[in-house]
A and B are shown apart, each in its own frame.
Chain A
Amino acid sequence: MNRIDDDELRQLLPSLRRFALWLARDPADADDLVQACIERALSRWSTRRGDASLKAWLFAILHRQFIDQRRRAGRWRGVLAMLGAEPGAAPSAEETFVARSSLEAFDALAVDHRAVLLLVVVEGLPYQDAAHALGVPVGTVMSRLSRARAAYRKLTGDESGGARLRRIG
């Protein structure tokens, strides 16, 4: 506990990279996130409290960094908008989407929904650990998970009656 185990970290790398990729949606950005996350983990190791698993702790650091980055990017877009520039990264307001595969459907989900599904369904984190990683109460994890599943089902056409659904936004 007084020194982080490199092997343990290495084993978690694929999960961290996957989580980062589905958050950032860009391989280079994702790996930057992972690198920053591990750097922070190594420097913060001594301050880590033992109430969450290593995996949840690392996911929490990564998620926190993603949120901070997005906030900075949002501020920057605000500045650009104020200066009258065209914000390049803004998604088009009326983007229609037809899901053809589960991956595409997953990609079309809101980032919060992607995050909670990845942590709980794919990574198999207990609700408590997912709550720690996302920085929200357990109740929020459960309700968000339920909404994320509903959105995913809509996109894949399950439980909706229709085969394929259009998504606006």
Chain B
Amino acid sequence: MNDKMPDDDTLQAYVDGELDDARRREVEACLVAQPELAARVTRWQREAAGLRAALAGGLSLPPQARLDPVSIRRTRRTRARRRLALCASLVLALGLGGVGGWQAKSARVAAAAPPMDDAVAAYRVFATDRTRPVEMDASQGPELQAWLSARLGRPMALPDLQPYGFALLGGRMLATSDGAAAMLVYQDADGGRISVYVRPSTRFDDVRGSRREEGLALRYWFRDGYGFAVVGRADDPRTLEVQQALPSAV
């Protein structure tokens, strides 16, 4: 080390007081031997002193009470208490919400309409009406189809139920919470009626099912965002035949 000139890292460490005693003495010996090096180190030391003086003296920050540890401790305690209170109220709210939510859920389940209940309701209100069950009758076949398709937002075929003894009476639009519904009403020679009902649905899950209520038989299925239903009299065996044939036809 004595023979070698200390490198810049060593000189810097010397200026910053980072060298141990032995190394410091070695550097100092070099500095004595090499005035040029000594001048450089002196300049660095002056520079450091200048920086210290400029930065340490050039700062006149007003005292800030909020930075005092005591005040920060106090703030922390208050906040912790508040947080604890908030946690307690959350626990209480969750508890109440849990109980209330459970009760609300059972009430909702009881009140929830069974699937395609609106098709049954539409049948009861309109398809049984003897004077005006439909808005547009079957004599305007193509127009009826176009009208229903346009209102429904999807091509609406007019299923042919003649093989089962039912002739198309006509169709009507209904308003549902899921959008416009189309109902086609068919009638047999004896005045018995069967309805085909289509409306948009939020379900895409191919769920299907059937049920009977108060003399009516409903069969429904969901496909591509639409719900379909066939409603007829439960005591007419042809209702079941139509219900079984239609899902593949529509």
Task: Give A contacts to B, CB under 8 Å.
Answer: 4, 6, 9-10, 13-14, 17-18, 21-22, 27, 31, 34-35, 38-39, 42-43, 101-103, 106, 117-118, 120-122, 124, 126-127, 142, 145-146, 149, 152-153, 158-159
Using a CB-CB cutoff of 8 Å, which residues 68-87 of chain B contact chain A?
68-70, 72-73, 75-76
Interface of B is mostly: helix
Complex partner residue of B12 from A106, A124, A149, A158, CB under 8 angstroms: A149
A159 to chain B, nearest CB (A): 7
10 A-B pairs with the lowest CB-CB distances in the bound complex, closest first: A6-B69, A102-B54, A9-B69, A121-B48, A122-B55, A38-B72, A103-B54, A121-B51, A122-B52, A18-B59
Looking at chain B, what size class is its interface with the partner chain?
20 to 34
Residue of A nearest to B18 (CB): A127
Docked-complex contact A146 and B61, CB < 8 angstroms: no
* In the complex with contacts A13-B67, A35-B67, A142-B12, A149-B47 CB distance below 8 A: yes
A-B contact count (CB 8 A): 84
B interface residues (Cβ-Cβ under 8 A, vs A): 8-9, 12-13, 16-18, 43-44, 47-48, 50-52, 54-56, 58-59, 61, 64, 66-70, 72-73, 75-76
7 CB-based A-B contacts, threshold 8 Å: A10-B68, A14-B59, A39-B72, A121-B51, A122-B51, A146-B12, A152-B47
Dominant secondary structure of chain A at its interface with chain B: helix
Please determine whether B70 and A34 come into contact, CB atoms closer than 8 angstroms: no
Contacts of B9 in A (CB 8 A): 142, 146
